[in-house]
Amino acid sequence: MNETTITSGRMNLGVDPVLHAWGWEIPLYLFLGGLTAGILFFSAIFYLRGRENVFKAGIKIAPMWVPPLLAIGLGALMLDLSHKLYFWKLYTTIRWESPMSWGAWTLGVIFPLSTAWAATWMKDVFPRWDWKFLIIEKTVDLLIQYRRWMAWSLIFLSAILGMYTGILLSAFNARPFWNTSILGPLFLVSGLSTGAAFVMLFSKNELERKRYSQVDMVLIGIEIFLIIHMFMGFLASTSVGIQAADMFLGGPYTAVFWTFVVWLGLAFPLLIEIMELKGINVPAKLPAILVLIGGLILRFIVVDAGQSSRWLYKFME
């Protein structure tokens, strides 16, 4: 028998009895970061492949949602800070060992770049659009000439953004459930998948819908593979890793994870998309909505479960 107690008492707010450093703000931001990374990635890729007149929703319209969505994400990040007035200190230094630091800098670059990218498509989408000021008009005209450069930069930066949302968590060895290198690729693939789903949601072009659906199916397949791989890794690791996996294999997160993320967020939409490709009549927007909700719930569960997995003081739970 081993019985441990803290006899002096310890109930530090946000730490005890279970770590609760991050609430809804961080998972919402991670979701929006992944979603916008996905939108930008495919917009840039398909633009470089010369599909701009076919994939209108993916290349031109979806990126216009990126700046407001990123702004909501950054707003959530700001709300999460407990020393808010000092947030600008993030931009006084670059710390390579801190994923949060290079995430902040990536966002600092990708936010204006994605705004510029969206601006270059305004007149394509809204032909009567007027920029009001000549200087903006001329700047946008200039930017249009550099679309290829912008597209290559966006591919690179959106991959970093999507990957970093996972690495941010996986870098914490103190939280065994987060401490898996699978989390980076898993969040990247999930982000790309939600980005593709977002385009499918309002694309009116059959060809575009079909291509994004095919891409999404491949991504969902990879995601399921990564999730299985992640649990295999945990079960083959040390006791804290096995305990982390157990939270999902019979523990408190079992029902919510396997029902809402794996089944309703991945397997079921995959099934519908396969049926749709085979010509069976199914509600077209349903898989996209499910993938988006599944992606959001995945972030919430991962952020929450990681904080519940620890090395010490398990008796406090």
**Residues lying near other proteins in the complex (CB under 8 A):** 1-16, 19, 21-22, 80-84, 86-87, 89-90, 92-93, 95, 97-101, 104, 171-175, 238, 306-307, 310-313
Asked if residues 104 and 56 have their Cβ atoms less than 8 Å apart, the reply is no
Residue whose CB is less far from other proteins, 168 or 219: 168
Least Å distance, CB 296 to other proteins, is 21
Say if residue 9 is exposed, middle or buried (CB neighbours under 10 Å; 0-12, 13-18, 19+).
exposed
Amino acid letter, residue 287: P
Least Å distance, CB 313 to other proteins, is 6
Asked if residues 130 and 86 have their Cβ atoms less than 8 Å apart, the reply is no
**Cα three-residue angle 31-40-116, rounded to 5 degrees:** 115
Least Å distance, CB 157 to other proteins, is 18
Could you tell me which of 94, 115, 113, 112 has the C-alpha nearest to residue 103? 94
Residue whose CB is less far from other proteins, 224 or 242: 242
> Where are the alpha helices (H) located in 121-267, listed in sequence order?
122-125, 134-145, 147-170, 183-202, 206-235, 239-246, 254-256
Least Å distance, CB 166 to other proteins, is 14
Task: Calculate Rg over the CA atoms of the chain.
Answer: 21
Residue whose CB is less far from other proteins, 47 or 164: 164
Asked if residues 140 and 120 have their Cβ atoms less than 8 Å apart, the reply is yes
Asked if residues 66 and 121 have their Cβ atoms less than 8 Å apart, the reply is no
Residue whose CB is less far from other proteins, 149 or 311: 311
All residues at 6 or more sequence positions from 200 whose CB lies less than 8 Å from its CB, including other chains: 209, 212, 213, 216, 284, 285, 287, 288
Asked if residues 183 and 167 have their Cβ atoms less than 8 Å apart, the reply is yes
Least Å distance, CB 185 to other proteins, is 20
Residue whose CB is less far from other proteins, 8 or 145: 8
Asked if residues 234 and 246 have their Cβ atoms less than 8 Å apart, the reply is no
Least Å distance, CB 101 to other proteins, is 4
Could you tell me which of 273, 211, 269 has the C-alpha nearest to residue 58? 211
Least Å distance, CB 115 to other proteins, is 23
Residue whose CB is less far from other proteins, 203 or 307: 307
Least Å distance, CB 265 to other proteins, is 25
Residue whose CB is less far from other proteins, 102 or 131: 102
All residues at 6 or more sequence positions from 238 whose CB lies less than 8 Å from its CB, including other chains: none
Residue whose CB is less far from other proteins, 81 or 235: 81
Residue whose CB is less far from other proteins, 17 or 112: 17
